[in-house]
Amino acid sequence: MHHALFHHGETLHLLPSGGLHWPARKLLCVSDLHLGKSERLARRGGALLPPYETQATLEKLDRDLEATKAEIVICLGDSFDDLAAVDGLENSARLWLARLMAGRDWTWITGNHDPGPIEIGGTHRAEVTLMPFTFRHIAMPDQKAEVSGHYHPKARLAGQSKPCFLADAARLILPAYGVYTGGLRAHDAALTALMAKDALAILTGPRVLAIPMPR
């Protein structure tokens, strides 16, 4: 199950997991994995979370890579909860990630949580352009064919809040892919200022559903 979005002449599949599959390019794009969040919170004396979020996120990613057979992967920033979180990954998680990366063209876009290169392989870029799209972490005003993340958008339907994609004619904003990530309501001013009035919110979950973006 996915939502097919015809965007700037290309067909994109918006997946129930919050990933973006571009079949013509054999590309999978995910945003805001926030790997190592529970370790980072514990390290900084914050609230304790069950230490399973990295495993659960890697399980999602593994399933999507297997289902899509993607050969190119773009992670849109905030892949790690901070730069030190890379060192805090358990060895099993590092090996799992290395297996997922093996044989694939893998790009880490820098985010505000992970602003520098990390010693974990792949290519590290501020942004990537694969015509017609530009992939970056944070949306920029007055851009066309832009794919970004950062905001962790969520929308409410029938009393239930779900992570969602936001799409209009100019841009596409991905939801956070990592588990245990919070979210920003789609009707927040930061998002309504970016998105056109006819923008859609595409809710993730077992049933991928497009609704008018709440305002």
pLDDT of residue 166 exceeding 60, the answer is yes
Q: How much is the mean pLDDT over the chain?
A: 90
Q: pTM for the whole thing?
A: 0.92
pLDDT at residue 114 tops 80: no
Residue 42 has pLDDT above 80, yes or no: no
Most distant pair of Cα atoms in the chain: their distance: 48
pLDDT over threshold 80, residue 25: yes
Alpha carbon of 28 to those of 61, 69, 115: distances in Å?
A: 10, 9, 22
CA–CA distance, 83 with 85 (Å, rounded to integer): 5
pLDDT of the residue at 195: 97
Question: Who's near 189: CB < 8 A, 6+ residues apart?
Answer: none
47 pLDDT tier (thresholds 50, 70, 90)? low
Quick one: residue 86, left, alpha or beta (phi over 0 = left, psi -120 to 50 = alpha)? alpha
d(CA 113, CA 64): 24
| Structure-token pair, residue 184 | 């920003």
Q: Is the pLDDT of residue 46 over 80?
A: no
Least confident stretch, 2-11, 28-37, 100-109, 167-176? 28-37
Q: What is the pLDDT of residue 60?
A: 96
Place 1 in a pLDDT band, splitting at 50, 70 and 90: confident
pLDDT band at 39 (very low <50, low <70, confident <90, very high): low
The DSSP letter of residue 175 is: P
CATH level 3 topology of 3-212: Purple Acid Phosphatase; chain A, domain 2 (3.60.21)
